[in-house]
Amino acid sequence: MKGWMGKFKGLFLLGSLALVLSACGQENLTALEPKGYGAEKALDLIILTTVVMLFVLVIVMLIYTAVLLRYRKKKGQENYIPKQVEGNKALETIWTVIPIILLIIIAVPTVTATFDLADETGASDHLNIQVTGNQYWWHFNYEGQEIQTSQDLYIPAGEKVYLNMKSSDVIHSFWVPSISGKMDVNPENENTMFIEAYEEGVYWGKCAELCGPSHSLMDFKVVVVSQEEFDQWVEDMKNVDPKAQPQDAVAQEGQALFQENNCMGCHAIGSSPAAVGPNLTNFGSRSKIAGILEPTKENLVRWIMDPEEIKPGNKMTGNYPDVSEEEADKIAEYLLQLEPSEITPEDAGK
């Protein structure tokens, strides 16, 4: 009866293999289809270690199955007493030495890759971005460029970009699985990592260190565009006029309401570094509202009316006067037309 225990495991493995082959998860989110340097390095190691591990597992399972098939107590031999073996030097040496060799096989590339990814020597020749983790949103400050954005991180494809990361409150962790592994965002020490995305696209980023009730909603996007598009985006962002009047009347009313309710106390439009709340300069081009909602007006109104319902524990709730649905609607109208650049996530391919 127990023979099929081993087979059962085998089935499991087969099944899961099928699963890997058929679905690696959502494109631009999964770590199994790397689109960047760090993720590629990681996947190489994942594959290498998996292969080594499967090799060991197969050996263990072979012995295991053999044992269970051959050495079950036999009928009619209930009183049989096996030989009491103490040990076997040769065997024991073998199963000490072989694992050591296998470990060396995985340790060497591990160490090499670790130093490779930690290399910061070229940082000053590249784009440097200051990343700030906040309870439950991300802020990006393009160093030396006077550009501030939140939630959507624009970077050029095929370029190393250095991220200097620090938290303003608790520990967060910056993770864009398909581009690179994660790096913690600590409150006292600045961490530096580089990312390099190979292809244009909008990639999902997630916070990977428990940071409070809305930890699971602290998503962000990395928008990878071509170098030319990126340059244009930079140009556009630099020339933003934070005071610019919107065209249509509703939005103008919205802008007035935005001022009246002192939204600017926390948020900024333009390159001012005020960072209690996300920077809204290019809010209209954001791929999501609050990192998670589809960028529709209804959703924005919902957010403005009651952010708590969407992101529990967020720092916006209760910090501004109540607004009526009508007012929220106008503010939303204003915010959604904040599109200083033609370069939007839609330009990032797909």
Partner 1 sequence: MSIAATQNRGFGAVLWDYLTTVDHKKIAHLYLFGGGFFFLLGGLEAMIIRIQLMKPENDFVSAGFYNEVLTMHGTTMIFLAAMPLILSLMNAVVPLQIGARDVAFPFLNSLGFWLFLFGGLILNCSWFLGGAPDAGWTAYAPLSTTSPGHGVDFYVLGLQISGAGTLIAGINFLVTIINMRAPGMTYMRMPLFTWTTFVTSTLILFAFPALTIGLFLLMFDRLFGSAFFDVSLGGNAIIWEHIFWIFGHPEVYILILPAFGIFSEVIATFAKKRLFGYTAMVFATILIAFLGFMVWAHHMFTVGLGPVANSIFAIATMAIAVPTGIKIFNWLATLWGGSITINSAMLWSLGFIPTFTIGGMTGVMLASVVADYQYHDSYFVVAHFHYVIVGGTLFGILAGLHYWWPKMFGRILDEKLGKITFWIFLIGFHLTFFIQHFLGLMGMPRRYWVFLEGQGLDTGNLISTIGAFLMAIGVILFLANVVITAVRGEKVEDDPFDGRTLEWATASPPVHYNFKQTPLIRGLDPLWIEKTDGNGKITPAEPVGDIHMPNGSFLPFMMSLGLFIAGFGFIYQVNYNWAYILLFGGMGILLACMLIRSVKDDLGYHITKEELEREAD
Q: How far is the CB of 35 from partner 1 (least distance, A)?
A: 13
Closer CB to partner 1, 6 or 242, in the complex: 6
User: Looking at 60, 62, 67, 244, which residue binds ligand HEA (CB under 6 A)?
Assistant: 60
Selected range binding ligand HEA among 11-19, 95-103, 307-315, 324-332, rule: CB under 6 A: 95-103
Cross-strand pairs, 176: 180
- For residues 45 and 105, give the distance between their C-alpha atoms in angstroms, rounded to a whole number: 11
Q: Which of residues 236-275 bind ligand HEA (CB under 6 A)?
A: none
Do the Cβ atoms of 133 and 174 come closer than 8 Å? yes
Q: Which does 225 bind (CB under 5 to 8 A by kind): ligand HEA, partner 1, none?
A: none
Cross-strand pairs, 163: 129, 193
118 lies in the site for ligand HEA, by CB under 6 A: no
Q: What DSSP letter does each residue of 277-330 carry, written as one string? A: S-B-TTGGG-SSBTTTB-S-HHHHHHHHH-HHHHSTT-SSTTSS----HHHHHH
Give the chain's largest Cα–Cα span.
96
Q: How far is the CB of 244 from partner 1 (least distance, A)?
A: 34
Taking the CA atoms of residue 234, residue 275, residue 158 and residue 289 in that order, the dihedral angle to the nearest 10 degrees is -90
Q: How far is the CB of 43 from ligand HEA (least distance, A)?
A: 16
Q: How far is the CB of 101 from ligand HEA (least distance, A)?
A: 8
Closer CB to partner 1, 7 or 126, in the complex: 7
Phi-psi region for residue 172, left (φ > 0), alpha (ψ -120 to 50) or beta? beta
C-beta atoms surrounding 323 within 10 Å: 18
User: Looking at 102, 266, 274, 292, which residue binds ligand HEA (CB under 6 A)?
Assistant: 102
In this structure, what token pair is assigned to residue 34?
């790397």
Closer CB to ligand HEA, 159 or 184, in the complex: 184
58 lies in the site for ligand HEA, by CB under 6 A: no
97 lies in the site for ligand HEA, by CB under 6 A: no
Selected range binding ligand HEA among 8-16, 97-105, 159-167, 294-302, rule: CB under 6 A: 97-105
Binding site for ligand HEA (CB under 6 A): 56, 60, 99, 102-103
